[in-house]
Amino acid sequence: MQTKDKLLMRALAGETLDVPPVWMMRQAGRYLPEYKATRAQAGSFLDLCYNPELAAEVTLQPIRRYGFDAAILFADILLVPQALGADLWFVEGEGPRLSTIQSANDLARLKPVETIHETLNPVYETVRLLRASLPAETALIGFAGAPWTVATYMIAGQGTKDQGPARQLMYGDRATFDALIDRITDATAAYLIAQIDAGAEVVKLFDSWAGALPGAEFERYAIEPAKRIVAAIRAHNSDIPVIGFPRQAGEKAEVFVDATGVEACAIDTSVDAHWAARTLQPKTCVQGNLDPMLLVTGGQALVSATKATAEALGQGPHIFNLGHGITPEADPANVDVMLKALRG
């Protein structure tokens, strides 16, 4: 099967399908016993990310179990900061930790963009392995974090509730902040292009903290970098679709879509699917937006919400997905319930 004939690609090309293609954010993850087993075999989460055979294996696990229409490369958005020279480690049960960027001096210690591939080559190898082993009908999605979201972790050295340290640097030392965003933007474009060259058929840009950028700052740090990355991809290989995910941006998703020209916009749970159908779908494919909590609780509420989401977005191009990643507490059997409600 050619790439363009895969269901996911047809939706991304603007087609309205009877049953939308479906995949889940974090579909390879701790809710699956087989993921936990492979992760234990790898050693740590980062060892898993940099082991092409095992990273490909965990990417394939949810495809084998559920037959999703797309596989997403197994890696993490924080590999780019690491490739740029930041220290990165994960604290079990807590999350990521990084060395921090708080001044021009810290920034000066980062490595040049051209050197990132030395660290990221195993990721490209994972992409190559996946293209060779995925079922013919399954599309392969590559991804990266959007510059603002990646910057929030690089500045604070960890996840934060309100992205306070990043907003503080943004207002307090604009030159350093801008230089950091530029560096990440260039690295991200190079990283995604290398994934595309290795075989990724679609790429997704995760801006998990886009909602923390007020007014003009949203234009400058969510829209502008995404625009530059999309332009770099177009210049390199014009027919690779890009999925944007300006999470928690609410109705600003509309200007995001208009300005960046992404082929799809992923929406989180807080966005009304009917609003997205009216406002976004005439311009782009919409991906989303089932509440991941329903995969913990299951039952009739899961069935109804799955059908309601598919119906709300059923008159235009739609990729069925969650509003955010599936959680470790989710019951793997509930994913079958969701798929049955969707596909019949």
Does residue 76 carry a catalytic annotation? yes
Helices and strands per DSSP (H, E), number in the chain: 17, 9
Instruction: Copy the structure tokens of residue 117.
Output: 């591939």
**Smallest Cα–Cα separation from 281: which of 254, 311, 317?**
317
CA pair distance 121, 242, nearest whole angstrom: 22
Amino acid identity, position 207: D
**Smallest Cα–Cα separation from 148: which of 74, 256, 60, 67?**
256
Choose between 85 and 325: whose C-beta lies nearer to ligand CP3. 325
Minimum gap (Å) between residue 209 Cβ and ligand CP3: 8
Minimum gap (Å) between residue 136 Cβ and ligand CP3: 21
Q: Decide if residue 25 touches ligand CP3 (CB under 6 A).
A: yes
Q: Are strands 88-91 and 95-98 parallel, antiparallel or unpaired?
A: antiparallel
Q: Of 325, 332, 339, 342, which one interacts with ligand CP3 (CB under 6 A)?
A: 325
Choose between 76 and 263: whose C-beta lies nearer to ligand CP3. 76
Q: Decide if residue 26 touches ligand CP3 (CB under 6 A).
A: yes
Minimum gap (Å) between residue 153 Cβ and ligand CP3: 7
Does residue 30 carry a catalytic annotation? yes
CA pair distance 341, 250, nearest whole angstrom: 27
Question: Quick one: which segment of 28-36, 104-112, 128-136, 277-285 binds ligand CP3 (CB under 6 A)?
Answer: 28-36
Asked if 317 and 243 touch (Cβ cutoff 8 Å), the reply is no
CA pair distance 285, 278, nearest whole angstrom: 12
Does residue 39 carry a catalytic annotation? yes
CA pair distance 150, 78, nearest whole angstrom: 7
Question: Quick one: which segment of 19-27, 121-129, 170-178, 262-270 binds ligand CP3 (CB under 6 A)?
Answer: 19-27
Q: Which of 10, 31, 39, 291 is catalytic?
A: 39
C-alpha dihedral (46, 292, 209, 308), degrees to nearest 10: 140
Does residue 278 carry a catalytic annotation? no
In sequence order, what are the beta bridge partners of 285?
Answer: 264
Does residue 10 carry a catalytic annotation? no
* Binders in 256-285 for ligand CP3, by CB under 6 A: none
Count of residues engaged in binding ligand CP3, rule: CB under 6 A: 21
Minimum gap (Å) between residue 105 Cβ and ligand CP3: 26
* Binders in 212-231 for ligand CP3, by CB under 6 A: none
* Binders in 110-169 for ligand CP3, by CB under 6 A: 143, 145, 159
Q: Which of 26, 167, 183, 247 is catalytic?
A: 26
Q: Of 22, 28, 86, 166, which one interacts with ligand CP3 (CB under 6 A)?
A: 28
Minimum gap (Å) between residue 208 Cβ and ligand CP3: 3
Q: Decide if residue 45 touches ligand CP3 (CB under 6 A).
A: yes
Q: Within the chain, what is the greatest distance between any pair of CA atoms?
A: 58
Minimum gap (Å) between residue 29 Cβ and ligand CP3: 4
Tokens 């001096």 belong to: 105
* Binders in 66-85 for ligand CP3, by CB under 6 A: 72, 74, 76-78
**Smallest Cα–Cα separation from 50: which of 58, 258, 60?**
58
In sequence order, what are the beta bridge partners of 287?
Answer: 266, 319
CA pair distance 340, 338, nearest whole angstrom: 6
Q: Which of 10, 31, 35, 76 is catalytic?
A: 76
DSSP, res 95: E
CA pair distance 100, 174, nearest whole angstrom: 16
Q: Which of 30, 128, 131, 228 is catalytic?
A: 30
Tokens 């530059």 belong to: 228
**Which residues are identified as catalytic?**
26, 30, 39, 76, 153
Binding residues for ligand CP3 (CB under 6 A): 25-30, 39, 45, 72, 74, 76-78, 95-96, 143, 145, 159, 206, 208, 325
